[in-house]
Amino acid sequence: MRGLAAVTALVLLLSVTPAVAEPSDAGLRLPEPTGTFAVGTTSLHLRDDSRRDPWVPSLNRELMVSLFYPAASAHGPTKQYLTPAESRALLQDDGVTGVPPEILSTVHTNAVVDARPAGRARSLPLVVLSPGFKKPRATLSTVAEDLASHGYVVAVVDHTYENVATTFPDGRVTGCVACGDYGPEFWRKLERGRAADVSFVLDELTRSSAHWRGAPLLDASRIAMGGHSVGGAGTLDALQTDDRIRAGVDIDGTLDTPLRETGLSKPVLLLGRQNTYTPGLGNGAADTWEAAWPLLTGWKRWLLVEGMEHASFTDIGVLAAQLGLDIGADVDAERAATITRSYVTAFFDLHLRGEWRPQLERPSPEFPEVSFADPS
């Protein structure tokens, strides 16, 4: 029980979640988690005094992280999805007009702020998630909450200055310093930086010290990573550079940084749009997966989803549909969330818990949208 008490103390001490607004009267909501646990959340402000920021070299690297975990109760105030400043920045960057610019700050997740960890929440597997370029960490909340409801601790990282807006506990709101020139070296730098950020976050979450009092909550031998877009590409970088990360999911992310010639033997799931990542398309994006495929020497799957678009794999697809915005997808937004969550959870269940999932071995009648690619 000392471990659980320590986690509770950590949550109370380190929570920096902004003041909670009233739930959205516009009817915007995230899909409910599908697991048996209620979900708790807290926010961590981490500073890496050993590393200069890659985008603002005069400063040390600072990160905001949302932590989701199995909770003892679903009762209490839920997490505000975005701050007003973050909502304005995200909608402006996406060119969305005709809706109140702060509308996404009225949305709430399903996770209870500062909830007490569930009594059985000990030595749980840890999954780190990395969002797409310019996107807040909040946009992966649906996947994160669902994993937590199935008994995972999930850390979702905001990569500072690569996001349109990150709010810090002292009220600072940083913008996207990295935005601008997007040549090949830029994307490689971005992917390498994601891997470095995640390694630092793992250092902080797994070390037994006064800062991370909840170490018994985590099983440091069962760590995996996933990400969307460049966050997915950065996942493969992290798999190559950090031995603690056992397996990884690239969700719709082009691999701009080539894999090492020695290959990657860790389990990898490539999950992407059929209209972009089908082998042989010759569109650049699929080419990068084809180039990486022979170098993935361990367990691997290349899954294609028909009718989904890039944003369909994130909360943006669900919230856009509720706002009446068309992202071009043929698959219903809620259905897209179900597909994404099911395959991501199945992958981590297999490689962090050893639980066999048939949908990863053959086409599933439950998910006819998903097909297996074999580029060999």
Q: What is the pLDDT of residues 222-274, one digit of tens each?
A: 999 999 999 999 999 999 999 999 999 999 999 988 898 889 999 999 999 99
Bigger pLDDT: 302 vs 6: 302
d(Cα 334, Cα 37) in Å, to the nearest integer?
Answer: 21
Nearest one of 76, 177, 69, 79 to 118, comparing CA atoms = 69
List, in sequence order, every beta strand (DSSP E) within 262-343.
268-273, 300-305
Q: Residue 17 pLDDT > 50, yes or no?
A: no
* pLDDT tens figures, 88-129: 999 999 999 899 999 999 999 999 998 988 876 568 999 999
CB 239 within 8 A of CB 246: no
Which of left, alpha, beta for 318 (phi over 0: left; psi -120 to 50: alpha)?
alpha
245-251 vs 268-273, strand pairing mode: parallel
Three-state SS at 307: coil
pLDDT of residue 121: 55
Confidence band for 206, pLDDT divided at 50, 70 and 90: confident
Mean pLDDT value of segment 1-8: 28
Distances from the Cα of 191 to the Cα of 9, 51, 233, 239, angstroms: 34, 16, 6, 12
User: What residue type is 256 in one-letter code?
Assistant: D
* The pTM of the whole model exceeds 0.85: yes
Mean pLDDT score, 132-152: 97
Q: What is the CATH number of domain 2-372?
A: 3.40.50.1820
| Of 41, 226, 74, the residue nearest 145 (C-alpha) | 41
Token look-up 């649906």 returns: 142
Contacting residues for 98 by C-beta, under 8 A, at least 6 apart: none
152 pLDDT exceeds 50? Answer: yes
| pLDDT tier for residue 182 given thresholds of 50, 70 and 90 | confident
Q: What is the mean pLDDT of residues 336-352?
A: 98
Cα–Cα distance measured from residue 12 to residue 113, given in angstroms and rounded to the nearest whole number: 9
**Over 60: is that where the pLDDT of 87 sits?**
yes
Pick from 202, 192, 195, 157: nearest CA to 64: 157
What one-letter code names the amino acid at 231? G
Residue type, position 41, single letter: T
Question: Exposed, middle or buried by CB within 10 Å (0-12, 13-18, 19+), for 160?
Answer: buried
